[in-house]
Amino acid sequence: MTEKEKMLAGLLYDPCINLLANERLYAQDICFQLNQLSPLAENQRQHLFKKLLGKTGQQFTIMPGFQCDYGYNIEIGENFFANFNCIMLDAAKISFGDNVLVAPNCGFYTSGHPIDSQTRNSGLEFAKPITVGNNVWIGGNVIVLPNVTIGDNSVIAAGSIVDRDIPSNVVAMGSPCRVHKTLKEY
């Protein structure tokens, strides 16, 4: 099994091999180009995002300051909006449903490091997916950690650290993020 296959399977892998390092450089270069574009260069911005990301809807907006590791592991649905300074560490898949709003300074981190210091110091890491459902609003300065699913129609309050699954139709908040109240279905 290659290091990339291990990465995509959620196993410990070495991120420093040439293939993965080159893929990250490619994504960093596209992110650099995106973040240097004039706000008026919308067609060029959309073209570069479609080149970078694994899947996009027809209508989406990602504001400048966007950074990612690989890009091809990110899937965004229709009417996706990410405000300024969004970071997606996408060694594993990050999937967003339709009508998702992401406020400024949010991070989605699929990568993690072993707790055992000897293994961690060897340079190995792991990646677990993040899934965000439809009609989700994520407030400013939210961090979503590996292996988390956020259900449809939920709201994650600003400043939260999401370290476990959040069900559909709730408002969740805090560090660690927990359900605060259930939303009535419409």
SS3 148: strand
Look at residue 184 in the predicted model and tell me its pLDDT. Answer: 80
Task: List the one residue out of 77, 83, 108, 80 whose CA is nearest residue 94.
Answer: 108
Please identify which of the residues 6, 24, 113, 178 carries the catalytic annotation: 113
CA distance 34 to 170: 34
pLDDT of residue 185: 60
Q: Write the pLDDT tens digit of every residue in 73-91.
A: 999 999 999 999 999 999 9
Per-residue pLDDT tens digits for 150-167? 999 999 999 999 999 999
Cα–Cα distance between 140 and 158 in angstroms, integer?
5
Structural domain boundaries in the chain = 3-182
Q: On the CB side of 90, how many CA atoms lie within 13 Å of its CA?
A: 26
Could you tell me which CATH class the domain 3-182 is placed in?
mainly beta
Whole-structure pTM value: 0.96
Cβ neighbourhood burial of 33 (10 Å; 0-12, 13-18, 19+):
middle
Q: How far is residue 186 CA from its own chain's centroid? A: 28
d(CA 34, CA 68): 12
The three state secondary structure string of 29-64 is HHHHHHHHCCCCCHHHHHHHHHHHCCECCCCEEECC
For the segment 114-137, what is each residue's pLDDT rounded down to a tens digit? Answer: 999 999 999 999 999 999 999 999
**Active-site residue flag, 180:** no
Judged against a pLDDT cut of 80, whether residue 186 lies above it is answered with no
Q: 4, 20 in Cβ contact below 8 A? A: yes
Mean pLDDT score, 22-45: 97
Q: Please name which of 12, 35, 39 lies closest in space to residue 115, comparing C-alpha atoms.
A: 12
